[in-house]
Amino acid sequence: MMKCRVTARKPILHRSVLIPAAVFLFILPFNHTVALRLTSLLLAGLVAVFVWRRDPPPPVPFKLPLLLWSGIAVASLLWTIDPDYSLGEVKNEIGYAIAAFLVFYGLAGSDLEWTLWNRVLVAGFLAMLGLAVSGYVSHGRESWLVESFHGGVGTFSTYLVTIFPFVFLTAIRGVRRGFPGNLVLLVIPLLFGAAALTLNRAVWPALIAEICVFGSFCLMRSPLSAGRKKLALAAVLLLVLLAGYQFMGVVRQKAPAGMPVTEALAGMAKNDERLKVWAHAWAKIADKPAAGYGFGRGILRKDFQSEFDNRLLWHAHNLVLNYALELGIGGVFVILFLFFAVGREYWGLSNAADPELRLVGIAGLTLVVGVFLKNMTDDFFVRDNALLFWALVGLSLGYARRRSLAGPATVSG
């Protein structure tokens, strides 16, 4: 049993002190907001330091994986083929990510913060969707896909996968409150519509996996009546079928006119350029399997672009392969260990007696599975999407750990 001096967190003195963190969470998915993003993170960090000193949170989880992750990345500066680039990537991908995690872990505690963060996530998505539809209507699909506020189709689709578990969680909490709170359910079909706009194939298998994880855990670990379980199962199956239909629609759209779906799927698997990219990545890994070439997704950018003569194919397009290229076998172990450690925290919460903690655990497990799978056909676990992932992990575990140690009746005041 963990021992630490944790008392019931009263809501923060005034909501205004949460504005910098809320701004950071809201603007993360928007392109060209780096200066505002970092400024808001810095201000939120100052607030978090004050709150941390006044009201210390529970011990930070998975410290060893975080130390290994940052340690091996810093160590790679000794052998990297591009020291300046790797140093910048350590700062951007490790330093800012851990800062975002700790800031939201320290600020989360009462229902006030927890509810605020979830509302900010939904508000940010609705703003993104509004701009997406506006850009699509005014500039057409092709222009919207290539040049827009969302940073690209891959980035935007990964953002949707990242927020989906917490949108789902917010929807369930809205249903519990009844009208008008249950109107948040409408956000789910809106998210599906946003995913359809991207014409991205990888987003749908990731969303299907998330729906299955969230739905199956809710059905297994929620005390629902038989009738409600049947209704929930029907809803899960409907969402899976809808996502599957959308996936097949994208496959048809990208295949030659009139080609049967089965042939289109076979052709997609056989002719995908990723197969050549992965083969080249394996060859480069075999040359330096122990240490890799240095931290940073684009450490071999010039090599890949020269090999494929394609400005888009500049890394391995797979999270695990990229870590093998960057940090060798140790890098693969560390990134898998990190995801496992985060998932283990949520697994424990998914078994909690407190229904609220169970939902947090289920949403977190869904997040880990969805983000990991989405980055198996490309690698968008960087910059804004990685920061969003770590902010979500921080805010959910900060809230859940304090609630579990202090008791739901005293924390939610």
Closest by Cα among 154, 153, 157, 97 to 295: 97
Closest residue by Cα to residue 37 from 18, 55, 24? 24
Question: pLDDT, tens digit, for every residue of 266-293?
Answer: 777 777 888 999 999 999 999 999 999 9
Distances (CA, A) of 370 to 18, 160, 221, 264: 28, 10, 20, 25
The structure tokens listed for 172 are 């369930």
Judged by average pLDDT, the poorest of 131-145, 212-226, 262-276 is: 131-145
Say which amino acid occupies 321.
Answer: L
The predicted pLDDT at position 128 comes to: 86
Angle at 117 between CA 392 and CA 389, to 5 degrees: 15
320/300 Cα distance (integer angstroms): 15
Q: Is the pTM of this model over 0.75?
A: yes
The pLDDT value recorded for residue 12 is 55
Residue 30, both tokens:
């928007």
End-to-end CA distance of the chain: 25
How distant is the alpha carbon of residue 346 from its chain centre? 14
d(CA 213, CA 216): 5
> Do 306 and 314 touch, CB atoms closer than 8 A?
no
Examine the pLDDT at 6 and tell me if it is beyond 50. no
- Give the pLDDT of residue 7: 46
State which amino acid sits at residue 175. V
**In the chain, domain spans:** 15-260+270-411
Of the pLDDT bands very low, low, confident and very high (cuts 50, 70, 90), residue 359 is: very high
C-alpha–C-alpha distance, residues 42 and 339, integer Å: 26
Is the sign of the CA dihedral 202, 205, 208, 213 positive or negative?
Answer: negative
In one letter, which amino acid is 252? R
Cβ proximity of 334 and 71 under 8 Å:
no
Question: Which is higher by pLDDT, 320 or 264?
Answer: 320
pLDDT at 243: 94
The per-residue pLDDT of the chain, averaged, comes to 87
- pLDDT score of 259 more than 60: yes
Q: State mean pLDDT over 15-39.
A: 90
Kindly give, in sequence order, each residue whose CB lies less than 8 Å from that of residue 154, ignoring residues fewer than 6 positions away: 200, 378, 380
In angstroms, the CA 67 to CA 83 distance is 21
Tokens coding 56: 């210390």
